[in-house]
Amino acid sequence: MDSKYILNITELDSQHEEIETIFIALQAAIDDKERWHALLENLCEKLKFHFYAEESIMRVFAYPEYQEHRKSHLEILKTVEGYRNRDLTEADVAMLRDHPMQLFLEQILTQDLRFAAFLNRNKERLGIQ
Binding flag, residue 20, Fe ion (CB under 5 A): no
Cα distance between residue 111 and residue 96, in whole Å: 22
- CA dihedral sign of residues 53, 69, 82, 103: negative
Residue 20 or 112: which CB sits closer to Fe ion? 112
According to CB under 5 A, which one of 54, 80, 96, 101 is a site residue for Fe ion?
54
According to CB under 5 A, which one of 9, 47, 112, 116 is a site residue for Fe ion?
112
Of all helices (H) and strands (E), which one includes residue 16? Answer: helix 10-28
CB of 116 to Fe ion, least distance (A): 9
Stretch that binds Fe ion, among 24-32, 94-102, 110-118, 120-128 (CB under 5 A): 110-118
Cα distance between residue 61 and residue 68, in whole Å: 15
Say how many CA atoms lie within 13 Å of 115 toward its Cβ. Answer: 31
Stretch that binds Fe ion, among 33-41, 85-93, 104-112, 119-127 (CB under 5 A): 104-112
Residue 36 or 63: which CB sits closer to Fe ion? 63
Binding positions for Fe ion, rule: CB under 5 A: 54, 112
